[in-house]
């Protein structure tokens, strides 16, 4: 069975994530055990029994979400015969997509993502910033608000274009707050400050990106075995050089999720699965194209609906 696989990013984590997978699938148990050894700290215990506050930290949330997504993808492929035909991932989720496409080794991706989370966390400490979601305002109007709110050394930019109804902005706290006020005055449907530790996908995170790119180049990348839609350009790429280039721009570039999903739906007319924790991307797809359903696959119950009776439970 072939399907499009889309992988969630930060914000989809929850305490207890992956525990049912480990309890029911030996393959999941093995990958969590290997992750504990590779990272040299009990990421599995953090996922299963940690506090929401600690799990929410960027340096913890990123490897936890990646690990969950990798476990589900492995079960789908090896026990259910479900393979990706085209993949995409939201920000952090792009690394899960690269593993699914055969570009990166699982544990290499985990090490990169752990480093990514640490660098982003540190960047947020050194250069404080924040993010906010704006609903019900057109992209060009949000861009105008960001331009108007920026000045005197403070900036705010568009960070995520998630759907026609949802755009996320990022930057210095003062500038983001000004843009939020402009959005409210513009009769936005909703303006929400995000609980994040930095101005991700903005120029404020540039130092983290520079160090991450140097770290990434220590690992082995392959050409993709299936089509990958990258965040930075919302284009399909295959070559390892193009993939590394896209990753080198990802942290400071907007996540072009709406465009990415439009490319996916034009390129693929089969099923679409959100692989990993939560249903954030499933909800965004409803706002992008209501005619194309997404099947969330992140728990044992959801897996059984996709691959049973082929799977053999532990």
Quick check: is 313 in a domain?
A: no
Q: Are 48 and 16 in contact (CB under 8 A)?
A: yes
pLDDT value at 311 more than 70: no
Nearest Cα to Cα of residue 299 among 10, 76, 44, 105: 76
Shared-domain flag, residues 37 and 179? no
Query: What token pair was written down for 220?
Result: 């082995």
Confidence at residue 314, expressed as pLDDT on a 0 to 100 scale: 43
**Mean pLDDT, range 287-299, rounded to an integer:** 95
Shared-domain flag, residues 228 and 106? yes
CATH number of the domain where residue 20 is located:
3.40.366.10
Peptide bond into 309 cis (omega under 30): yes
Q: Are 92 and 62 in contact (CB under 8 A)?
A: yes
Quick check: is 95 in a domain?
A: yes
Q: How many CA atoms lie within 13 A of 93 on its CB side?
A: 30
The single residue of 90, 163, 201, 296 carrying the catalytic annotation is: 201
Shared-domain flag, residues 74 and 13? yes
Shared-domain flag, residues 76 and 220? yes
Confidence at residue 313, expressed as pLDDT on a 0 to 100 scale: 43
The fraction of the chain above a pLDDT of 90, given in percent, is 93
Shared-domain flag, residues 217 and 283? yes
Rounded CA-CA distance 248/119 in Å is 14
Q: Which helix (H) or strand (E) holds 159?
A: strand 156-163
Shared-domain flag, residues 170 and 47? no
Confidence at residue 102, expressed as pLDDT on a 0 to 100 scale: 97
153: left (phi over 0), alpha (psi -120 to 50) or beta: left
Query: What token pair was written down for 92?
Result: 């952090």
Polymer length in residues for the chain: 314
pLDDT confidence bin for 9, thresholds 50/70/90: very high
Query: What token pair was written down for 64?
Result: 């936890």
pLDDT value at 310 more than 70: no
Provide the 8-state DSSP code for 13: -
The single residue of 44, 91, 150, 248 carrying the catalytic annotation is: 91
pLDDT digits (tens, 9 = 90+) for 44-81: 999 999 999 999 889 999 999 999 999 999 999 998 99
Shared-domain flag, residues 147 and 272? no
**Mean pLDDT, range 129-148, rounded to an integer:** 97
Q: Is 90 a catalytic residue?
A: no
Taking the alpha carbons of 149, 151, 152, 158 in that order, is the dihedral positive or negative? Answer: positive
Q: Are 4 and 273 in contact (CB under 8 A)?
A: yes
Select from 171, 197, 223 the last residue of a domain: 197
Rounded CA-CA distance 96/102 in Å is 10
Confidence at residue 306, expressed as pLDDT on a 0 to 100 scale: 87
- Dihedral pair phi/psi, residue 168, rounded to 5°: -110, 135
Quick check: is 285 in a domain?
A: yes
The fraction of the chain above a pLDDT of 70, given in percent, is 98
CATH number of the domain where residue 173 is located:
3.30.70.250
Shared-domain flag, residues 40 and 74? yes
Quick check: is 312 in a domain?
A: no
pLDDT digits (tens, 9 = 90+) for 210-219: 999 999 999 9
Number of domains present in the structure of the chain: 2
Residue whose token pair is 């399909």? 236
Q: How does the average pLDDT of the chain come out, rounded?
A: 95
pLDDT confidence bin for 196, thresholds 50/70/90: confident
Its domain, for residue 78, covers 2-125+204-307
Q: Is 201 a catalytic residue?
A: yes
């Amino acid at each position: 069975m072939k399907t499009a696989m889309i992988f969630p990013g930060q914000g989809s984590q929850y305490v207890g994530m992956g525990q049912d997978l480990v309890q029911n699938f030996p393959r999941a148990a093995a990958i969590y055990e290997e992750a504990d050894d590779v990272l040299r700290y009990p990421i599995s215990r953090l996922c299963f029994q940690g506090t929401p506050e600690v799990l929410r930290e960027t340096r913890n949330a990123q490897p936890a979400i990646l690990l969950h997504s990798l476990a589900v993808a492995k079960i789908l492929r090896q026990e259910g015969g479900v393979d990706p035909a085209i993949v995409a991932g939201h920000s952090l989720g792009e690394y899960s997509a690269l593993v699914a496409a055969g570009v990166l080794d699982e544990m290499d991706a985990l090490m990169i993502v752990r480093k990514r989370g640490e660098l982003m966390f540190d960047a947020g400490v050194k250069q404080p910033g924040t993010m906010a979601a704006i609903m019900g305002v057109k992209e060009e109007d949000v861009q105008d608000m960001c331009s108007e709110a920026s000045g005197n050394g403070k900036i705010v930019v568009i960070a995520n274009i998630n759907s026609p109804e949802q755009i996320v902005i990022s930057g210095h706290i003062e500038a983001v707050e000004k843009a939020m006020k402009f959005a409210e005055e513009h009769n936005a449907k909703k303006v929400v400050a995000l609980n994040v530790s930095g101005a991700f996908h903005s120029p404020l995170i540039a130092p983290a990106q520079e160090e991450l790119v140097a770290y990434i180049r220590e690992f082995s990348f392959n050409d993709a075995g299936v089509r990958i839609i990258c965040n930075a350009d919302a284009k399909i790429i295959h070559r390892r050089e193009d993939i590394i280039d896209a990753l080198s721009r990802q942290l400071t570039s907007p996540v072009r999720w709406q465009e990415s999903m439009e490319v996916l739906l034009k390129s693929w007319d089969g099923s679409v699965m959100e692989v990993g924790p939560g249903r954030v991307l499933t909800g965004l797809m409803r706002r992008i194209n209501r005619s194309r359903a997404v099947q969330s696959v992140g728990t044992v119950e959801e897996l059984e609906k996709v691959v049973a009776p082929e799977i053999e439970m532990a």
